[in-house]
Amino acid sequence: MTFNKKKYDQQYAKDNYDRVLFNVKKGDKEIIVSRAKEKGYSTIADYIKSLVYEDIKSSQATKNINVQNVLQNGDNNNINIG
């Protein structure tokens, strides 16, 4: 039995990646391709992934809380904030 690279690649992708498919209005694909090229991306997928991950990163950054005057008591499981 010979090694089937195509089958291996398909199985690897199935095991390690989720697929996200979506539709855009007719003509919008060309606009997206053009914008991706303007921004230096070689594929639409890279451009869209970058936008999604940047959005996730920026939304998580806004959830950081600055805490001052933290005192820790007792058994290391309780923190008093004052």
Encode pLDDT of 14-66 as tens digits. 999 999 999 999 999 999 999 999 999 999 999 999 999 999 998 886 665 56
pLDDT band at 77 (very low <50, low <70, confident <90, very high): low
pLDDT given at position 67 = 61
DSSP strands (E only) in the chain: 70-73, 78-81
Q: Which one-letter DSSP state was computed for residue 42? A: S
- Token look-up 């058994």 returns 75
- CB within 8 Å of 29: residues ≥ 6 apart: 44
pLDDT band at 12 (very low <50, low <70, confident <90, very high): very high
